[in-house]
Amino acid sequence: MKYKAVIFDLDGVICHTDRYHYQAWKQIADKIGAHFDETINNRLRGISRAESLEIILEYCPRRLGQKEKDHYLQKKNELYLSLLQNMSPADLDPEVKDTMERIRDRGILMAIGSSSKNAAYILKRLGLENYFDAVADGTHITRSKPDPEVFLKASAGLGIDPPQCLVVEDAESGIRAALAANMDCAAIGDGTRCNLARYHLQRFADLLLILNEGACPPSPRGH
């Protein structure tokens, strides 16, 4: 078997909290007088909270000192966590859970590789807090995607060499991180647009085709 482990990004792959991020950032942007819309929000995918704020500040008419930045970063997280209280195991797509169960039945290890510092909380809300063999998130890294650190920590936690890990990602920054970690990547959702990943998933269950000796058609990148 080519892949001994699958490393999943969390938001946009296992679950979808984009609307919560957007609502929280929109409140922050309104407070500081910065223009913010869905297009700008898409630029924030896969990067750290601090980096996200810097992007939002590009559309702000005034400069913020570090003390103000720290205040709004904390406020954003409080707003986001409040919104996440609405999540429950019912938000986990049955196809996602079934696919992961079938991957586990094949003896393939699974991990989370997420830049989010709230990954543990989200997994708990979904009822997945003890589900994965390893979790690497924003609390374990100093460099966010596209740096490969989070995926390398995930593979180390699994005890699996990077080339034997398949990453599942929905953001270009995450795909670049996977490639920098010397891992193959399966792109899903918006991640398919950049044509960098080895595989394109039309649906989550297509992962099973890839793990069946790479039966899933490769992306237009043409590996």
Going from N- to C-terminal start, the domains of the chain cover 5-15+91-211, 18-84
Give percent above pLDDT 90 in the chain.
Answer: 86
- 5-15+91-211 CATH fold: Rossmann fold (3.40.50)
The full length of the chain comes to: 223
Q: Active-site residue 98, yes or no?
A: no
> What's domain 18-84's superfamily in CATH?
Putative phosphatase; domain 2 (1.10.150.240)
Model confidence pLDDT, tens digit, residues 53-68:
999 999 999 999 999 9
Residues 29-41, mean pLDDT to the nearest whole number: 96
Does 30 participate in catalysis according to the annotation?
Answer: no
Read out DSSP for 139-196? TT-SS-TTSSHHHHHHHHHHT--GGGEEEEESSHHHHHHHHHTT-EEEEEGGGGGG--
82 pLDDT above the threshold of 70: yes
Mean pLDDT within 97-108: 96
Residue of 11, 170, 184, 206 marked active site: 11
Per-residue burial over 66-87, b = 16 or more CB atoms within 10 Å of its CB, e = otherwise: eeebeebbeebeebbeebbeeb
pTM: 0.83
Query: Catalytic one among 9, 137, 170, 184?
Result: 9
Q: How far is residue 184's CA from residue 35's CA, in Å, rounded to a whole number?
A: 37
Strand-pair partners of 11: 15
Least confident of 44-48, 171-175, 202-206: 44-48
